[in-house]
Chain A
Amino acid sequence: MNEEIIIAGFGGQGVLSLGKILAYSGIMEGLEVSWFPSYGPEMRGGTANVTVILSDERISSPVLNVYDTAIIFNQQSLDKFEPKVKPGGLLIYDPNGITRHPERTDIDIYQIEATRTAANEFKNTKVLNMVALGGYLKVKPIVKMENVLKGLRKSLPERYHHLLPLNEQAIRRGMEIIKLYRKAEPVNA
């Protein structure tokens, strides 16, 4: 198993922490993991992205050019990373604020109303990343739920542990609401 993921959106959408929780979940699953963020002042108010790799082998490059999966939260990141998904790969995006939707036909594309669900159902936009995580795990169950919850517990500072149930609910809700946008077309031999 080797899963190479890019997660991208605005700073403040929880992109880096989504990556961190996923990576910690991978550790709990007994996998090798790496997490490499874009860093520096351009992140403040701008776009943030993080490359996460989960693998059952030693991880080579933590920086990649193409990805198995892209989890996308804004238009800029969609424009940038849609072409970088491997043929046959997976693109998950939050349609909130998206005006130009993905156009590729050789990858599986899913939509998840993460921002809307977090705001309307949970009254807490901060959990939008957990909604997306749930959606991703529904499509690619590479880590068992018990290990995701362990990873979540490890990632959150103890002073936020009272928010664990809320985060778990958000993950489970994400699993329910993710919907297929377009399945990859079969490749003609």
Chain B
Amino acid sequence: MAKVKHHNIPLDQIIKPENIVFKRTKLFTDNVLSYCPGCGHGVAHRLILEVLEEMGIADKTIGIAPVGCSVLAYEFMDIDMQEAAHGRAPALATGIKRTNPDKFVFAYQGDGDLAAIGTAETIHTANRGENITVIFINNGIYGMTGGQMAPTTIYGMKTSTTPYGRDPKQMGHPLKITEIVAQLPGTCYVTRQAVHTPALVRKAKKAIRKAFEYQKQNKGLSFVEIVSNCNSGWKMTPVQAVKWLEENMLPYYPLGDLKDIGLD
């Protein structure tokens, strides 16, 4: 029998229901997550699913998966889901919510999806104040297609289409779409979070919960950006990627609430 050396307590005495401190999120399906080790997507998925479970609204929720690394998000979330064309998730969400106002609707989108090809849908859906929640994963790169430049790629950052670093003279500037969205009267809650430390994960979960609470109160569009890492796309180890994120991404994309009109 295996023993924990320092305390000499047998394992079977540790594995008991009263000692459980963490359980697998119920709303995850049995499919193995396809994300790279160290990627923030898995954590973000878990936080959404935990919030849906805790609020007891999973049977009233319709999620929308985008094009990008999370294109298969519906494989992992045990709720009704729709897969959108690239950039169109907010339009789908509008269609669903307008015809099903009693349902909860969220769009889960990456930076290319939300801030490049789908910018018009993002802005106009927010501007109409659709009662939906947008979860925006910003890792500054196109992960699925192999590490090309994203609208949010920061200055000097190397990607497969900016191999010498992003030069604003040629490629323009990293787009702070969240700041733009926060200015629109249709939004009620706009925040920027991260999930690369346990403390940040706890804060991000609170933000996602709040976003869905806003949706419950029909206050308008709630928007949660999660600054995440893409160690594969960035060509780094997970540890290097987290360090790089803190030193380079967060100064340009500072964490915190940009708008919070207040829940009832």
- A–B touch (CB < 8 A): the answer is no
- Interface set of A (CB-CB < 8 Å, partner B): none
- Interface set of B (CB-CB < 8 Å, partner A): none
